[in-house]
Amino acid sequence: MKVLLINPEFPDTYWSFRHALPFEGKRCAFPPLGLLTVSALLPDSWERQLVDLNVRKLTTADIDWADMVFATAMLVQKDSLKEVVKRCKARGKRVVLGGPYVTTTIEDLPDADHIFLGEAETTLPQFIDDLARGEAKRSYKAIERPPLAATPLAHFHLADMKRYSAMSVQYSRGCPFSCEFCDIIEIYGRVPRTKSNQQMLAEFDALLALGWRGTVFIVDDNFIGNKKNVRQLLPELADWQKRHGYPFSLLTESSVNLADDESLLADMRDAGFRRVFLGIETPVAESLKEAQKSQNRGDLLESVQKIQSYGMEVMAGFIVGFDNDPVDIFERQIDFIRKSAIPLAMVGLLNALPDTQLWKRLEREGRLLGEASGNNTVCTFNFKTRMDPALLIQGYQTIMRTIYSPREYYERALASMKRTAQQFTEPTHYNVVNGVASLTRVFVRLGVIDRERKEFWRFFTKTLFKHRTRIAESLRLAAMGYHFRKLSDAYSES
């Protein structure tokens, strides 16, 4: 059996990092871990190939090679997924689909042969048995969410590593909180399940053996969802990093209450966590209450600063469009982002995702307008907002233009570096040749061609004086700022 694993294309959004990746000579931020895991659940004797459309094109020869096609998708990838299914069906292939889009959509599914709803650790082996008996079903859904002990070591070797700027591993699934807009708790549950320490170390070993150096994204919904287990894992990760000379710079996602736990913060710092993505959402207490985000209590600016003081750059998600948003929400978001020194602030418009508590409430209130695009940075709403939608969109664009104007952005980047004193030099995947190439690309594009070159040189000079050991990090931040500015400009013009 020959299986072609396909990851459809992402649209050009803030999250695609598309304008930042070329500086590093990369095509995509992260490999599709879902498909790499699915591959490891298939029989060893089957042949497999991965085609990530964010890295290269899908050719007819690829499709013709395969007996069966396995594709994944998030909501934002649905147009590309439909195209993939159409092409593969036209060549007479058996098509199998899974992942968050098919699991949560309310629309008609693409015309595939088999659909996997939810996690596949128990259902895929069942499918393989059914297939051998000629009795494979159209749809598979696990009765219970599987323990992560059942998750095999992902087939990292299928990914063309040199095309990605980071590698992904997963420690836990699910989150104990109950934010109204969140679909994580509907898809992956409210009882966080974790892998064992041995499983995690085996994944680190595998990435190291494949030659990976640099950023590793622990893609958990909330890394500290199961604090008891995380506390046991972190010292082992720290020990592993030390034994191997700190080859990985870790990034993860966490709830804001991480700031309340200094021993956990110290353990994360020692294990090599350099960036953490927080769901801050809004500085407005009434909107946080509406979103049932009780864990974001207290002084959020202080919480951010506490985390930064442990050497971790804070990235964060922000949302506008809550019913309780006051008219000055836009200025308040800008002010918060400015004071918090969060360079990469992912601001989005509230979207109601299928099956969430928010979706159900809006349905009851007769305010739903249809399925969301899944991209919360395009200026559309899938529900009737309390504030005039035109005002919301205008205000949203003002936030993006302001926070990603070069002067504002570089100030935050410098303030963030100042607040995140480092114990070790950050590992990167650069060698002398690609390091020099990346540096040249940044200097030419941002320091010569770009109309905002004066701001770049101001930023770079300050970095040279104040953060000389962190040049690579400052160039990464500059490239990311450029990406966000490019997209803000494009969205404002459209």
Site for ligand B12, rule CB under 6 A:
10-11, 13, 15-16, 29-30, 32-35, 37-38, 70-72, 74-76, 96-101, 104, 116, 119-121, 124, 168, 170, 173, 183-184, 187-188, 219, 221, 348, 353, 374-377
Residue 461 token pair: 């000079």
Is 182 a binding residue for ligand SF4 by CB under 6 A? The answer is: yes
Contact 30, 76 (CB under 8 A): no
Q: Which stretch binds ligand SF4 (CB under 6 A): 7-15, 59-67, 147-155, 178-186?
A: 178-186
Q: How far is the CB of 374 from ligand SF4 (least distance, A)?
A: 16
Measured distance CA(237)–CA(320) in Å, rounded: 37
Min. distance of Cβ 420 from ligand B12 in angstroms? 21
**Window contacting ligand SF4 (CB under 6 A); options: 50-58, 81-89, 177-185, 409-417:** 177-185
User: Residue 177's binding partner, choosing from ligand B12, ligand SF4, none, with beta-carbon cut-off 5 to 8 A by kind?
Assistant: ligand SF4
Residue among 85, 88, 96, 185 that touches ligand SF4 (CB under 6 A): 185
CA distance 484 to 207: 30
175's contact among ligand B12, ligand SF4, none, with CB below 5 to 8 A by partner kind, is ligand SF4
Q: Is 279 in the site for ligand SF4 (CB under 6 A)?
A: yes
Q: Rounded to an integer, what distance in angstroms lies between the CA atom of residue 442 and that of residue 445?
A: 5
Q: Tokens standing for 35?
A: 């498909």
Q: Three-state DSSP class for 286?
A: helix
Phi-psi category of 290—alpha, beta or left, where left has phi over 0 and alpha has psi -120 to 50? alpha
| Nearer to ligand SF4 (CB atom), residue 85 or residue 291 | 291
On the CB side of 7, how many CA atoms lie within 13 Å of its CA? 23
Q: Does 255 bind ligand SF4 (CB under 6 A)?
A: yes
Q: Hey, what's the torsion of the CAs at 222, 226, 231, 237, to 10 degrees?
A: -50
Structure tokens at 454: 């004066």
Question: Nearest approach, Cβ of 326 to ligand B12 (angstroms)?
Answer: 23
Residue nearest to ligand B12 (CB): 98
3-state secondary structure of 86: helix
**What x/- string results for residues 80 through 119 when contact with ligand SF4 is judged by CB under 6 A?**
----------------------------------------
Q: Nearest distance from residue 119's CB to ligand B12, in Å?
A: 3
**Pure H helices in 309-376:** 329-340, 357-364
β-sheet bridge partners, residue 7? 52
Shorter beta-carbon distance to ligand B12: residue 255 or 463: 255
The answer to the question of residue 221 lying near ligand SF4 (CB under 6 A) is: yes
Farthest-apart Cα atoms in the chain, separation? 69
344 binds ligand SF4 (CB under 6 A): no
What is the smallest separation between the CB atom of 253 and ligand SF4, expressed in angstroms? 8
Structure tokens at 349: 């418009």
Stretch that binds ligand SF4, among 180-188, 269-277, 326-334, 402-410 (CB under 6 A): 180-188
Q: How far is the CB of 116 from ligand B12 (least distance, A)?
A: 4
Sign of the Cα pseudo-torsion (308, 310, 312, 316, in order): negative
In the complex, the smallest distance separating the C-beta of residue 156 from ligand SF4, rounded to whole angstroms, is 25
Q: Does 222 bind ligand SF4 (CB under 6 A)?
A: yes
121 binds, among ligand B12, ligand SF4, none (CB under 5 to 8 A by kind): ligand B12
Binding at 80: pick from ligand SF4, ligand B12, none (beta carbon under 5-8 Å per type): none
Q: How far apart are CA 302 and CA 300, in angstroms?
A: 5
Q: How many CA atoms lie within 13 A of 268 on its CB side?
A: 28
The Cα angle at residue 196 between residues 198 and 15, in degrees rounded to 5: 100
> Among positive and negative, which fits the CA dihedral 364, 368, 370, 371?
negative
* Polymer length in residues for the chain: 494
Using CB under 6 A as the binding rule, whether residue 278 contacts ligand SF4 is answered as: no
* C-alpha span between 164 and 188 (Å, rounded): 26
Judged by CB under 6 A, which stretch of 18-26, 52-60, 92-100, 175-183 contacts ligand SF4?
175-183
Report in angstroms how near the CB of residue 170 gets to ligand B12 at its nearest: 5
**Should residue 184 be labelled a site residue for ligand SF4 when binding is judged by CB under 6 A?**
yes
Residue-wise burial string across 317-328, b where 16 or more C-beta atoms lie within 10 A, e elsewhere: ebbbbbbebeee
- Which parts of this chain interact with ligand SF4 (CB under 6 A)? 175, 177-179, 182, 184-185, 221-222, 255, 279
